Chain A
Amino acid sequence: MTSMAVVELSRLQFALTALYHFLFVPLTLGLSFMLVIMESVYVLTDKPIWRVVTRFWAKLFGINFVLGVATGLTMEFEFGTNWAYYSHYVGDIFGAPLAIEGLMAFFLEATFVGMMVFGWDRMSKRGHLFTTLMVAVGTNFSALWILIANGWMQHPVGAVFNPQTMRMEVNDFAAVLFNPVAQAKFVHTVSAGYVMASLFVVGISSFYLLKGRHVELARRSFTVAAAFGLAASLSVVVLGDESGYTLGDNQKMKLAAIEAEYHTEPAPAGITVFGFPQYEGRTTTYAVKVPYVLGLISTRSLTKPVEGIYELVADAHARIVHGLVAYDAVEKLKVNPGDMAARAAFEGSKQDLGYALLLKRLVADPRQATPAQIDRAAWFTVPNVPALFWMFRIMAAIGFATIAFFATAFVMSTRHQFDARWFLKLSLWMMPLPWIAAELGWAVAEIGRQPWSVDGVLPTFLAASSLTVPQLWATILGFTALYGTMAVIEVRLMLSAIAHGPEPIEWGSAAAPLATPIDAGFAPVPAE
């Protein structure tokens, strides 16, 4: 077995590279659609100011987009480099959405983004709007396929273990495609991206309004983003509820951990708004509960109970014992593929094979496990309760705060009231929150799935590649240095692009002054 140090370092590297990648992706998702809205207004009204608005945000989009693409390269190959056994074990299912993402989404966004940036003078207005739309569609399709892949890890449907090839294989591709967890995740994630982009635009516009600079641009951008952000923030919270619902159906343990619900909550279950979950003592102290709410969210009824951690561990215990039958059958089939008795035993127990694999952390051959080891392995199925409890609550609080924020912003923009300094300042303070919520959301989803790489199918500690600790440190340090440098550069370029504002002369080319400014021919924007 691969050493736990290698497994933990592999997890660290994946978390670092994925969380970093996810700093840029949601902004791309949202900003691309906002560019479509702004450019549509330009095409429909033919007012030059909207061209200035679109091009300004497109410049910030470009600075952000490039890092999303660059760090996405790592993600596409990291399953193979660091999670080779995972890649073998579930590649038959998991590889397809990644490949389709490349074919259907990456090509679209990457090909059209070149024309979006370089093609302003080479196409008609409508032609250019079409390229911007294709970029937005491409980035959002890309999120769809990635979340179909991730949704399958959370809720593996449409696949079955094949002892001849020692891996999971697809038996129902439509089930993978229309996985309810994937659908909920997609809507929730792209909505979160729209919220992030809206706050980004509102924040920067507020900065300009506070300084009294580029006011015409700032007011228009503020108005677009306030409306878009209000719709998106409602969607993110309402459809976060939707993920809670499927979570209750498919991932009861994650829900119980998020709620720090150690014992089954009889119907109608109350939701724990606040409390102190104790990891070691396996209790939650000082819990403040709101009655009925949890039962409504996760079971959509007032009569079904929400299962607690103790009860779910007992279920896991039974599944481990049952899974040992499947494990034994697979070992026999390895030696003699024609063993009909083993084949029959496997068919009756295959859905619990993954649970038997949990024992491999304690004993090389799970069939030799003692009852005490089976007990311990059953408790492995509980993820980090306090971490999930708190991360989820912070994320949800941010979600509700953004609804209130955008509702206020929307009212202000419909009244053309852009001079409330307290609100403009608040916008600046709000700007980092969507990033915090998005990163926490990723962490809740992934930490909540532990100890599984694929829920109930493959434990994380078996999924890693057979690498060495020095190899992993080399790449972790390498990525940290590379990504750290790029983050510093990115932030500086963003800040100077914002400081420079939407003036029509390309500021970056000061060394080689331009003969003709970009927006030559347009009247200067009033009030600037």
Chain B
Amino acid sequence: MFDYEILRVIWWVLLGVLLIGFALTDGFDLGVAALLPFVARTDIERRQTINAIGPTWEGNQVWFILGGGAIFAAWPFVYAVSFSGFYLAMFLVLAALILRPVGFKYRSKRPDPAWRARWDWALFVGGLVPALVFGVAVGNVLLGAPFRLDSDMRSFYEGTLLGLFTPFSLVTGLLSVAMLVLHGAGWLSLKTDGAVRERAQAYGKVAAVLAIVLFAVGGAFVAKGGIGYRLVGAVDPLGPSNPHMATTVAVAGAWLDNFAAHPWMWLAPVLGFAGPVIAFLGISARKDALVFTGSSIANVGIISTVGLAMFPFILPSSIDAKSSLLVWNASSSAGTLFTMVICTVIFLPIVLAYTAWAYKVMFGRVTPAQIQAGADFY
């Protein structure tokens, strides 16, 4: 029914859907956690902030877990090379993400202010660190990672943890933080009232401006900073998943090739700029729904820009012309991709339906008065 090429493109699109799904849902949880110490000053305000994401963060986090599982199933080379290569960075993300659920659930179990202050820190770290490291990782994917595959397809990584932090990857890291903080502010605009909402919107304005500036700086790096990769010769999109069969070369500015060839792709970066502008205007006009819409558009636009710029690259190697991972050479077998498409077609709509129902059940603003009255809150 589908040939191997189409299956691979479908899974490339689904990879994007998962990343965007993660940013749209868990992204605001990360942003809210990173904003926690700044938008909420009293204990009641902190609980108000935490409970704005309380009933739904757990489901949102599954986008991250599913992302891991789907990359494993559909792009095993990418799963193996990137997670073992970015080993210590992955540990930092995991440790931070582990702190988060524990922080949500345990913080309010004791009245002791010192106990609660410690968990507030844990939640702040659990929001900020993943947001930063994800952005840094995307920067490094654009730069190419220092790995090579031997003839057994064993991956050897020749970089270090500190080597991940370059000027460009810091720009992408901070862009990720700005984008998710803006999204968090958008969520708090919808879900809280009073002082927390006011402060969230003030930080949201700053985040919107930073997102625009950093996205522009990142774009300038991509255009003029000597970044980019290109295929040498042809690759068979129906060929076996063996990275040695393609040859790639670093070419400055090559990440703009796709936009030159397919002008419709400019829509993605346009949305990346339009989103923060809309969110900013939404804050100024005091239209809460517009703020969240704007921050969501920013997520979609910025993540799509990266994906479209790199196609068909998924993870280029910076040290070996015969190791880069492409849509055409790093996937699972056609049989596995097909099986997983069927599973996704069946289950993803069900997931989206009950997730929507959960949001509907939990709809409405969280106020300090509710927190003081209700026993089921964190």
Residues of A within 8 A of B (CB): 62-63, 66-67, 69-74, 76-77, 79-82, 84-85, 87-88, 91-96, 98-104, 106-108, 110-115, 117-123, 134, 162, 164-167, 169-171, 173, 334, 465-467, 471, 474-475, 478-479, 482, 486, 489, 493, 505-506, 508-512, 514-518
Contact = CB atoms under 8 A, between A and B. Distances in A.
Contacts of A98: 68-69, 72-73
A74 B281 CA distance: 40
Interface in B184-202: none
Contact of A123 (B56, B87, B361): B361
Nearest to A511: B111
B113 A511 contact: yes
B65 A102 contact: yes
B109 A493 contact: yes
Contact of A506 (B72, B95, B375): B375
Given A82-B84, A99-B340, A110-B62, A166 B242 contact: yes
Contact of A514 (B153, B355, B372): B372
B56 A114 contact: yes
B1 interface: no
B332 interface: yes
B84 A517 contact: no
A506 B156 CA distance: 53
Contacts of A113: 58
A84 B83 contact: yes
Given A96-B336, A108-B354, 7 more contacts: A66-B104, A73-B98, A77-B83, A98-B73, A103-B347, A119-B362, A486-B98
Interface in B239-265: 240-242
Contacts of B77: 88, 91
B238 to A, nearest CB: 12
B66 A106 contact: yes
Nearest to B108: A508
B235 interface: no
Given A107-B66, A508-B108, A170 B43 contact: no
A334 B111 CA distance: 65
A466 B84 contact: yes
Interface residues of B, number: 82
Nearest to A519: B375
A99 B73 contact: yes
Contacts of B241: 165
Interface in B45-98: 54-59, 61-62, 64-66, 68-74, 76-77, 79-84, 87-88, 90-91, 94-95, 97-98
B375 A95 contact: no
B151 to A, nearest CB: 5
Contacts of B98: 70-71, 73-74, 482, 486
Given A70-B102, A509-B375, A511-B111, A111 B343 contact: no
B80 A84 contact: yes
Given A95-B332, A170-B336, A74 B94 contact: yes
Residue of B55, B108, B156 most packed against chain A (CB within 10 A): B55
Contact of B375 (A104, A122, A514): A514
Given A81-B87, A84-B155, A113-B58, A76 B65 contact: yes
6 contacts: A73-B61, A96-B343, A99-B343, A100-B69, A100-B347, A466-B155
A508 B110 contact: yes
Contact of B340 (A96, A466, A509, A510): A96
Contacts of B66: 99, 102-103, 106-107
